[in-house]
Structure formats: structure tokens, C-alpha cells
Structure 1
Amino acid sequence: MVKIMATFYFIKCLFFGPRLIKVYGCSERNALTYLPSGAEKLGDGFLKLMNWSIRLGIYTSPLVIWVLHKKNLLGYDGFHSLIRFTAICTFLCSISLAARAFGRFRNPHYVKFITHLEVAQNNYNSNTKKFLSQYDFDFSAWPVDYDAKEIPKDSDKPRRFVDQESKNRSITEIAKLLPCRILGYFVAHSIGIRLLYPGTIMQYFIEPNLIDGRSRLIEEHLGERHKLVTRDGNAIDCVSVDRRASPGYSNGDWLVICCEGNAGFYELGMIGTPLEAGYSVLGWNHPGFGGSSGTPFPRQDQYAVDIVLQFALNKLNFPAERIILYGWSIGGFSASWAAMNYPNVKAVMLDATFDHVLPLAANVMPASWNSIVTTTVKYNLNLNVAEQLIKYNGPVILLRRMRDEVIALEPGTLSTNRGNNLLIKLLKFRFPKIIDPTTVPVLRMWLNADKAERKEIMKKPEFTNCTCPKLFKQLEEKLKSYIEENSNSFPMLIGQNWTEKEKSQMTIFLASRYMMDFDGTHCTPLPVEMFRPPQEIGSESNFVQISDLKK
């Protein structure tokens, strides 16, 4: 019986099994690219073409139906033509499946891969995973490393979500909004989510680059791939590089969880900077990106980063106090949500991130579409980074790109960079007695100025010595004293009865403490020397300087 089942599994994999991409460990961890035979390549190519055609047909279904209607193909004759076309496609798919199975059967690498895959799927443990990790293949066939069902009860507390929708609307107001909300739903679930996350489409054109990037992480950095299953059933593709036991990495005891942008993948994205800085790293792909299933709607994305945190805590065994959340661009939404729900993480770093996605979405759409854009975003794509971030009490640093052309309403113009608004909202919440109507203009003036302009600002009498180290030290001591007498929780009420000049000085100090500028564009990789996690006020740095890392 066992032999019959094994034979059946073997035949099933030949016809419908996962695509094998690379074989690792063939020569001192150098990967061997799997080369399919002509029969397998031809069969697989046609099946891939059919899959692409079906996807394209679904995305363009309204246009397809309109064309069929214009050509009178939706009637009886059209139905018969559709049946004939379907029969031909079915026949060609059958031939392609047979050709692929024949090619795989004659390839020793694929036959050996099937053997290891069967063993791993029947008994998945550290030993069988070691053998399976020798291969790069379709992620859908990868066994599950961690499931949301395994989350310990003490970690499975109710999650917090930011919801902008008013709960006090009258029936009349709801009725007025209903048509717009229905339209917004269809816009969001068709083209809207793909415009917001273009990586869902780009990945089909850059697949070779993703494969090469994944190979580098596994071969050069000794990374390990994992499959995590979320609360809503999505499979999340992630990779970990654990350096705790590796000599020469002084920051290896710290785990950086990387939340990529709307066209970023762990294979090619921001993960390189913390790796170069010597940290342990956990990278993951948004739902619908790379090997991850699903679609990157807010709730799916939140469940995705949730299972990533649980995996880091319960499987990789990193304590929350040793975890740094690093979000780039739209990944700031994922990172800020995780920070809100895991308040004990060490720090949050947000790079080229906005306060809310609505101003950016409205900026690229015609003004006449404002109503539908607002409704679509509010009820379907509500990425409110600022409101989530203010619910985190720990250290935060915002990295702003001076020539950012994506999150600035006017490309490259500092005054329109939405990172400014994120900083203002964060500081207004944390220091309400300092960041008030009298100092917000000072803060905006400081944020809108480049280095040369700031030097001119500092020449004004009210800002004399405002940025000198001695004054900064005094302001630091004031904050320390307040914390010692009260607490380090936010909002802090420091600044009551201060003069306008004192508040202005503290405003600039806080701005320089919470935001760091980088002279680059949105997609320029962050230099490793700028990867400096923030510390709580009054604490000594627990992080090794980059220059001190052993090479």
C-alpha cells in the first residue's frame, strides 16, 4: 500500500508538481540552475502562457465582454465557438502536461527533488527541511514552517486596528454614500490595489532578478526560507538570516524585521542595509508578492506582519526587546501596525514613509475624481501610518529622502514631503505642550529648509545657538529630568509655562532627534552608516557602531 501511494505521488508530481528552479549545495554552496529538457520546457511554457492568458482575461474582463458583444459573439453561435476553443485549449494543455511529465521523468535532479519533497511533506522536521533547503522551487509546494493556529494563548491577544469610519452616521448619510462605496469597492479590488502595489504585476517581469536575489541570501548570507500561514489563510514567503552564533557580527543579537515598499521584495529590497550593518534579519513579502499568496489589502497585510512577528518571537526565539521594526515607503504601514500591537519591540525605523496614503493618491488622480478616490481609500485602502505610530511608546526615527519623488506631492520638493506631516503628527502627540500652534510654523520652516537655508535660519536672533551641542545637551537634560520626575510614557506634558523661545529651541532639538535626512531619491539604497536605530531619551546606545564591526 505504501509503495502504491508513493508511486501515485511520484506520478502526480511529474504532471502537476512544482517547478524546480535551482539546486543548492552542488559545489561549495554554489547553486546549479535547473535546466529542463526540451519536452519539459515546451510543455511548461505553454501551460504558463495559458495561465497568463487567463489572468489577463480576468483583469480585462469588462473590455473582453464589450468586444465579444460588439462582434455578436455572446449569442448561440458565439457559445459554440467558445466550446470549440475550450476543447482545443484542453487538448493542447493535456499534450503539454504529458510532455512536461516525460521531461521531468528523464531528469535525475527532478526525480531526486521529488523524493526529498515527499519525505519532507510526510514528516517535516529540521532534518528533512535541511535536505529540502537544497532546492529552490515553486513556493506553493513548500511545507508550512509556522501556522497562526500554533500561536500560544498568551501571545494571541486581540489585535488593535485603526478604523476611520464614523460609527455615528445616520441612515440617510449611509444611503447617500452607498453607491460611491460600492463603486469604490470595485475600483479597489480591480485596478486600485494594483496601482497602489505595482509589485503585484512587476514581479512577473523581474522573476530572474528575484531568483538571483534569493540565491544570494541563501548562498552568501546562509539565509533560511520559511513558509508562514496567517490567520486568514495566506501563505507568507519570508527569509531569515540568524547571526547570533556567527562570529564577527557584533549586532547579530538584534533582529531587524524588514517591511518592504509597494514594489519591493525581500530578494531585492531594503534588506541589504541591515545585513551589511551586521544585524540578524527577517525579510518577508507582502501578500501577492513573490511566493506569498493573497492580495495586499490592509487587513491581509496586517495579518501577514503579525505572523512574521509571532514567528520571530516563538520560533526564532528573539525577545521583543531585541527586535527592530524597519519599514520603507508603504512598508511603514506594516511596521507601524506591528509597533502598535507589539509595544515592547526595541525601536521603529521608518524610511521614506508618509502619514496617510490619501493625499498621495488624490495627488496623482484628476481633481474631478476626488470623491471616489477618497471613498475608495477610506473604506478599502486606509493606510493611516500616523495614527498607528502614535500608539507606539518606544523609540522612533524617521529617515527622510531629500530628493524624494514618490512621497512628495511635488517631486523633490521638501515642503511637500509627506514625511514632514508624519513627524509633525508624531511630535504633536508626544509633546503637546511644546509642539503647539506657536511652534508648528517653526517646525515647518525647519523641515522645509535644506542645509544651507537652515544655516541662514539659525542666524536669526530667536534661534541663536539653537543647534550648538552645548544647548542640545541642556535640552537633553531637561527631558531626562522630566522623565525621572514623571515617566517616559507619552504624551509628555513637559513645556508648560515655557517661553516661546524655549519651546522653539526644544522643537528644533526634537526634530533633529526624530528625523534624519539623507540626500537621495526614494529608491536609493540607504547607506549602511545611516542605519542607526534610535534610543530612548537618556539611554546609552546598546548598538555597536558600524565602523566597529568586524569584517
Structure 2
Amino acid sequence: MAAVSFIKCLLGPRLIKIYASSERNAISYVPSGAEKFGDGFLKLINWSLQLGFYTSPFVIWVLHKKNYFGYDGLQSLMRFTAICSFLCASSLVARAFGRLSNPHYIKFINHLEVARVNYNSVTKKPLSQYDFEFSAWPVDYDAKEIQKDSDKPRIFIDEERNNRSITEIARVLPCRILGYMFAHTIGIRLLYPGTIIQHFIDPHLVEGRSRLIEELQGERYKLMSRDENSIDCIAVDRRGKSQYSNGHLLVICCEGNAGFYELGMIGTPLEAGYSVLGWNHPGFGGSSGTPFPRQDQNAIDIVVQFALNKLNFPAEHIIIYGWSIGGFTASWAAMNYPNIRGVMLDATFDHVLPLAANVMPSSWKSIVATTVKHNLNLNVADQLIKYSGPIVIFRRTRDEVIALEPGTLSSNRGNDLLIKLLKFRFPHIVDHTTIPTLRAFLNTDTAEREEMIRNLEVSHDPCIKQLKQYAIENRNSFPMRVGQSWSEKKKMQMASFLASRHMLDFDSTHCTPLPAEMFRLPQEIGYEADSVEISDFAEISPSNL
């Protein structure tokens, strides 16, 4: 019996906390000295291996310069590896003995073993009172469980050209190789710094997760994606609770490149009274994998399937909310689930390439373009235009991240996202004749914008009436052919109205949380609730909310 317990403690996950309940206060798990020492050394080895992998081109170069690839050097590396292996084994044994003497850990590991044998709502309940290493959490929903009628082929936007000449392939091959190496080492970490930051903010992640579970009655789940990544997510279900008028609507939050559901944008829809489903990118928090585009797409896919098939929210009650780089997964989900209630994008860009090229040396232009195109192709606009439902875009007027010139409104890539969306949806209104004026409209401050509105004689009610009438006569689908015979002034009036209808300004920088008061759902054309005024496209600052 003692041997069995020792093996469980040897192979068991790290225990972090015991949550508060009606019967007890929260307990932060305090490991013994032996467990603390063993766990600390194993963490150090793990971080060293990760750092070595992500900086492998530089490490290999240094080892080569130091002549470690010769016979004597290889022998030294082998001796070093043997010493590290011995220390790792000793640390594992020390950690196991430390856990074996701790009653909290023994009780936890017994609950975990029961759940592993027969995982259901009954065995999950006692396990849910613990916060522990997520890799050991049993799977709540697997992509293999998706019913055939829900498992339709997914849409992927692929910019790869299939017909290339041999000469062209030979010319781009060196860039492709270098781009692949860069993307799969340090490149993905630069694009998603949260994969590194999380090691330094782990106590804050634990605290944020505790708040969601203890105070807001959230429930944590483990989802298994198509590519067998474990996706860490949490649901706060407010259906049937009278104090939450929006509880019947579920907001699925797609975080930014350094955001986690424990600390990120999830707070805005929660404060606004919605049910919320937060999830972490592959490689973030408890999620396994790496946030390359296809892995991220598979992650949001299983999250939406979970919301539909396990949480049982109808698609018409689901809103996808993406912040910053989260606009990529949000737009992909919208493209593949066209029946959802709507899409809300906050501080999001049209494509990552202009932003990546802007922060890299100009001499790297070719390799940056190749790396992005073939490895990190985050094409938000191309995905978004394939969704025909209601959309609202929040733009930060002092955004220093998605603006090519920090804080400069005219260089904000949210402008390009909006113009590409409107150009597709209303091709006879937003065209080569109106886009220059529309850009000028988007680039101006509040006072100048109001002056342009007065000069253009833009009026809300006639614009709504014309769009509604067209929708009634021609169906509410895109692209709309309305405006074919209009004058340039009339098209510009409508273009200004459409811009104000699809975009709201927030006077803030990139990382300021969106106030709950601004969290307003987009409306379909033709709905009586469609009452966004032209004046709403003005700067709203945190101080006057």
C-alpha cells in the first residue's frame, strides 16, 4: 500500500491550492522542504530546456565556436547530461517523499485517481475544489465526440499559390527555410509573448482563477482539440439567474497575445452581466501546444463546439468577442459558424504583416513577409468578410500597438479592417471614389469629424430607412448592391453612417480594459433596435463613463 502511494506521489501533478467553500476557507498548498526543493529543481531544468529550444540557433552557434561538437566536447556534454539526469531523478524522489507526508496531497491524489477511473459530474465535484497542474486534469470534452452533423469541413483562408515555377521555388526556398526556423524558435514567442510572461505572473494567474471559481461560480474544463492539444477554459453560466438580464447570452472571449482568461478581457462581459466562456491559447496557462495559426483555429473550434454541444447554448445566443490578436480566432470562428449572434472586435488589425514589418529592419522585408505568409498568416480581414452577421469594431484612439505610428489615429490598422469590411459588404458605396474621403473621416478628431458630418448633411434616419428598404426587397445578405446609381455625395453620406455604425471609438491606449458601459451588441440591418447614432462615433474616455 505504501509503495502504491509512493508511486502516486512520484507521478502525481503539482498541487497549488484548495479552493474556499461553504465549509472552509481557501487553503494555499504549502509543500514540505523536500517537495519544494525537488519541484524547484525540476522547474529550473524545464525552463532551461525551453529557453535552449527557443534560442537554439544561437546556442548551436556558441557550442560550435567553443568546439563542443568535437570528440572531447561531446564527452563533456554527455557527462553534463548524466549529472543532470541524476539530479532530476533525485529531485523526483525527494518530491515524492515530501508529498507522501502531506495529508492534503494524499487526499487530493485519491480524488484524482477516482476521477481518472470514472470521470463524471459526481467524481468531478470533489476534484474541482483543487487547483493543480492542468496536464493531469481529466478531459471534459474531446473533438472525437463531435457529432457528424456538426463536423462539417472547416474553412481556412490559404494565401499559398499552388502553381509555382521551379525557378520561383528555388528563389524563395532559402527565405522559406530561414522563415520556418525563425517562426518556430523565437518568432512565435515574439508574436505571443504571453508564452514567456506566464512564468513570471503565475501567482496572479492563480489568484485570477480563484476569483472566477470562488466568487463568480465559474467552472473549469479541459477540452481536447483536433490536433490533440489540451485547451484550458472556464465557463461562468448565468442562465436562470434573475440578477443577470443578459445571462442567456454567452460571450466567448478570444484573448490577446499576452492575455489569459484569468486576467484578461473576460472582466468586461462579466461586469456587463453576460454568461462568459474564456479560454487560453495553446501554450498559455494550462493549454498545451504552441499558438501557431492552425493550432489556434483548432482551439477556438473545440471551444465553440463545447459551447454548442455541452453547455447547450444555441448559436443565436453566442457572441464572439476578440481583443487585439484574438481577432484572428474570433474572425475564424465567425467564418465557420455563421449563425452566431454577432462578433465584437476590440483593438484589432486587418493583417499582422504590416505590423510585423513595421517593427523589423527594412533589410529583413523579404524574410519577414515569407515568415508571416507561410507560418504566421493572421489574416483577420479576409476571414471577417466571410461572416455575414452583425459586427462592431472598437478602436482605441491612442493605440500604441496596432498603429504603425504609436498613438496616431491615421496609422491605426483598425481603419484598414473597417474599410475592407465595408468595401466587401457595400461595394457600390465604399469604392475608389469614397475611400479617400472615408479615410479622412476616420483619421480626424471628434470636432473635425462632426464638421464633416454637418458638411455632408449626414442624417441617421434616412440612412437606416434606405438600408432597411433594400434589405426587405433584396434580402439582408452581403455583398449588397445598394448605391449603384447614387451620387458621390450620397454615397459618402452612407459611407460615413456605415463607419459610425460598425465602429466605436474609445479614448484610451491598447491595454486599457473596455468599460462594461461600452459593451453594446451589434445589430442586423433591418432591426428596430438598430439605433446607433452618428454622434456615437466620438471619442469616449474612461473618465466620462
TM-score band (shorter)?
over 0.9
Query: Partner of 1:387 in structure 2?
Result: 382
Corresponding position of 1:538: 526
Name the amino acid aligned to 1:529: E
Q: Which moved further from structure 2: 65-74 or 136-145? A: 65-74
Q: 2:541 — aligned with what? A: none
- Residue of structure 1 equivalent to 2:224: 229
List per-residue Cα deviations over 1:247-293 (Å, max 9, x = no partner).
31110000000000001000000000000000000000001111000
Q: Would the aligned equivalents of 1:350 and 1:399 in 2 still touch at CA under 8 Å?
A: yes
Per the alignment, in what secondary structure is the counterpart of residue 388 of structure 2? coil
State the partner residue of 2:487: 499
Contact 1:259 1:326 in 2 (8 A): yes
Number of equivalent positions: 531
- 1:344 matches 2:332: no
- CA distance in 2 between counterparts of 1:458 and 1:512 reads 11
Which of 514, 529, 532 in structure 2 is aligned with 1:526? 514
C-alpha contact (below 8 Å) 1:348/1:397 kept by paired residues: yes
CA distance in 1, matches of 2:448, 2:7: 68
> Which residue of structure 2 lines up, in the alignment, with residue 359 of structure 1?
354
Equivalent residues in 2 for 1:80-479, closer than 5 Å: 80-460=75-455, 463-464=456-457, 466=458, 471-479=459-467
Residues 121-173 of structure 1 deviation map (CA, whole Å, 9 limit, x = unaligned) = 10000011111100000000000000000000000000000011122322322
2:511 aligned with 1:516: no
Partner of 1:11: 6
In 2, the alpha carbon distance for the partners of 1:230 and 1:28 equals: 36
Instruction: Note the C-alpha offset of 1:77.
Output: 2.4
> Residues 72 and 185 from structure 1, CA distance in 2 versus in 1: closer, same or farther, beyond 3 angstroms?
closer
- In 2 relative to 1, CA 391–124 (structure 1 residues): closer, same or farther, beyond 3 Å? same
Provide structure 1 residue ranges, at least 5 long, that are not aligned to the other structure: 544-551
**TM-superposition CA deviations, 1:403-456 (whole Å, max 9, x none):** 000000000100000000000000000001111111111210110011022133
Distance 2:433 2:49 in 1: 59
* Amino acid across the alignment from 1:151: I
What secondary structure is seen at the aligned counterpart in 2 of 1:228? strand
Report the AA paired with residue 353 of structure 1: T
Q: Is the partner of 1:25 in helix, strand or coil? A: coil
CA distance in 2 between counterparts of 1:330 and 1:68 reads: 36
Deviation digits for residues 219-252 of structure 1 (CA, Å, limit 9, x no counterpart): 1110000000011111000000000032311100
Q: Report the Cα distance in structure 2 between the residues aligned to 1:62 and 1:387, rounded to whole angstroms.
A: 34
Flag structure 2 segments of 5+ consecutive residues without an equivalent. 532-545
Question: Kindly tell me: are residues 540 and 456 of structure 1, through their superposed partners in 2, closer, same or farther at Cα, counting changes over 3 Å?
Answer: closer
CA RMSD for the aligned pairs?
1.6
Query: Are residues 1:76 and 2:59 paired?
Result: no
Q: CA deviation at 1:487?
A: 0.5
Query: Within 2, Cα distance between the matches of 1:9 and 1:418?
Result: 58
Q: Is the 8 A contact 1:30 1:219 kept in 2?
A: no
> What is the CA-CA distance between 1:27 and the residue it aligns to?
5.5
Deviates more, 1:95-104 or 1:199-208: 95-104
| Per-residue Cα deviation, 1:9-58 (whole angstroms, up to 9, x for no partner) | 53323112100001013555742110111111111111111111222222
Task: Name the CA shift for 1:188/1:213 in 2 (closer, same or farther; >3 Å).
Answer: same
Structure 1 segments, 4+ long, off by >6 Å, are none
Corresponding letter in the other structure for 1:81:
S
Does the 8 Å CA contact 2:318/2:340 hold for their aligned counterparts? Answer: yes
Aligned to 1:33: 28
- Amino acid across the alignment from 2:8: C
Rounded Cα–Cα distance in structure 1 between residues aligned with 2:431 and 2:418: 13
Contact in 1 for aligned 2:6/2:97 (Cα 8 Å): no
2:106 alignment partner AA: V
Give the aligned partner of residue 485 of structure 1. 473
Contact 2:524 2:530 in 1 (8 A): no
Label 1:70 to 1:485 Cα distance change in 2 as closer, same or farther (>3 A).
Answer: closer
**Which letter does structure 2 place at the counterpart of 1:277?**
A
User: Secondary structure at the residue paired with 1:512?
Assistant: helix
